[in-house]
Structure 1
Amino acid sequence: MASIYSKRGILYLAYYVEDAFGKRKQESFSLNLKDNRENRKLAKKIKTEKEAELNKPNKMVLPFNLSLETAFEMYLKVKKNVSKKTKDNYLVAYAHLTNVVSPKTVITKITNKELARVVDYMETEKGLSRNTISSYTKDLNTFWNWMKSEEMIHKNIIPKIKQDPKTIVVIPDEDFDEILEILHKRNIEQYRFIKFLRLTGFRVGEALALNWENVNFRSNRIVLQNIKMKRKDEFPLYDELRNFLFEFNEKEGKIFPYKNSESLHFWWRLMKKTNYRYSLHSIRKTFATKLVNNKVSVFDTMKLLRHRNVATTMKYYTYADMQRLGEEANKVFKVMESGNLKIFNLKG
């Protein structure tokens, strides 16, 4: 049978196996779990699954064959220091996985066909975009690589989904004005949150994390947590933004009353009602495009958007330049039409 013991504050799993000559020998492996009450419960679960495996007549190949749910629980323990957003992504990816594969399934029994069905489920039943599916399969890929490194499985069989090139979708002023007008009449908190994103181009997570103590009306700066770079950044509290925030009644605690992105479903309900197809991240792209169109320098735009590298910022300049070229082409064709000139498509 199997047993759990502690060594230098870390829990280990020990069990006996028979070698090719029928001789029993003990093997043990670190569970990489600190010895505490909560982890003892998980270790007991691992021990039970190991004992069930030992009672099978099949020859053992791996140190332990765990169920999917137990392996994932161990994985979250190891990844306890990741950001909340990253952990939430892990949980959502796991939820999609277990909508197809039973959490009780032994991890070594999961097949390529089942994982292909997971991808199909996300695409056809959940209606997720290719890039979103790619993001979740990357999270599952990280989980599978960890199981492989712990010798729980032989290989990583998560399918790799290549992302489509991301297009820049901006919200025209007339559409944005309509959206804000609807929200202003319906819910002032929703209106404030969306208008704040419009005025700052903040990532949703950055805006949700803001407290009033992050806003300094004396130095005219907002101190925010850069969720991409994992550092603190500053954003200028320019006049329109300052006046907007100054109108808020409460100036203690969180600026916006939303716990996380799951609390922002009102946006998608509004998009459905208005027949628009803009994401919340489209607001950030709209802000970036406005900076470019108003001749803000590459360096200043990069600073305001808090991009990791200039290549990301340059995408908006390329996009804006293509728009400008399109407008110039329109002018040429209008001149031709006004002069009753005919344009022919010539081959060669």
Structure 2
Amino acid sequence: MLDKVNWIFIALAVVSLFLAVERTVRLKDQRETVNHQAMSVTLLTIGVAASAYGTMTLTASFYNFGLAMWHGLLGILIGALEVIVLTLRFEQIPRLTLRLALVRSGLVTLVLFATWPLGFAWAPPISDLTKIDPLNPAVVLHIAVFHLYIIWGLFQLLRLSFSRVPREFGRRPISAVALVMVGFGCAGFIWVNSVLGGSVLIGIHQNVAIIRDPTGIFLSLCVGGAALLGFGERAWAAIVTRYRLWQLGKLWEVSGHLSSSELQLRMQLPASARMQRAYIEISDALSTLRVDTKHQLTVQEVAVLLIHGETTDDRLAPTISQALPPRSTRLEDLHMIHTLAKECRKGKKRELFSWLHDDR
């Protein structure tokens, strides 16, 4: 019996429900907004509807209950997606526009559930709508409303996704890629629903397997794009932050050791806070540590002095910041810190190779 379960949709249900719980916990202290509510409804609806679809063959003999849940809940899902689209299009959604979206979703859901007992509940087990013959008025209305509402809702999301791509590429390329993925996924589902819905209503027999084969790809694009849109920027920021911490690590360690900083507190902070602390401590060290020199030093020379701990307590000697090439902006200071950090890493590697060679 388990071999009849569509495990891809079961996996989608589990992921969606997990994301719904994670989002609820993460945003519990934030002000409730229309977007937050619509996202929660979307994730919960996907979780329940995907579970119904994944087990549809098991429930087909029970008044085609899985089919009814799958189709009926998609009315709610498309309505929630429409609200999300509105929150992205408008800073403040017009009340009439929001109410129309909710009423439209409610009416479609009502029609889908109302036509279920008349068309499917007492019919033989149905796992493929394209094989229903003959069609009765309830089934025709159900299929027409179901496919047309899906096509209309996905088209709104498709239009929004591609309209935002040019603006996002310059600011947030990960979000732009995510929108492209969602857009192509929606376009694929629009094609599938147009062909299947039209074929059933017109009475043209199609090779359903060929038409439905790419749905796994379309679903992966939509889910993957949505996940990337939700978590991609944060994940990339975390990766970049940790990479920059690694870049600064040797310089931070050396400067902290020479200036007697409290290094033990660093690991108790999140990565973003540690990076800010690294910049502050390194800047403070460069502004307080002094070197015995009468001329301006190169970054490579300063790195060698720091690695060997060659600083001085002479108050008349210039600070490392003064000995380095002049900078005029905060951005130039940050570039200098990263250049100095790079030279410190190189210097440590050279010392290690030299020690290994002498040891031999």
Q: TM-score, normalised by structure 1?
A: 0.27
Point out the structure with the larger strand share: 1
Higher helix share: 2
Higher-Rg member (1/2): 2
TM-score by length of 2: 0.26
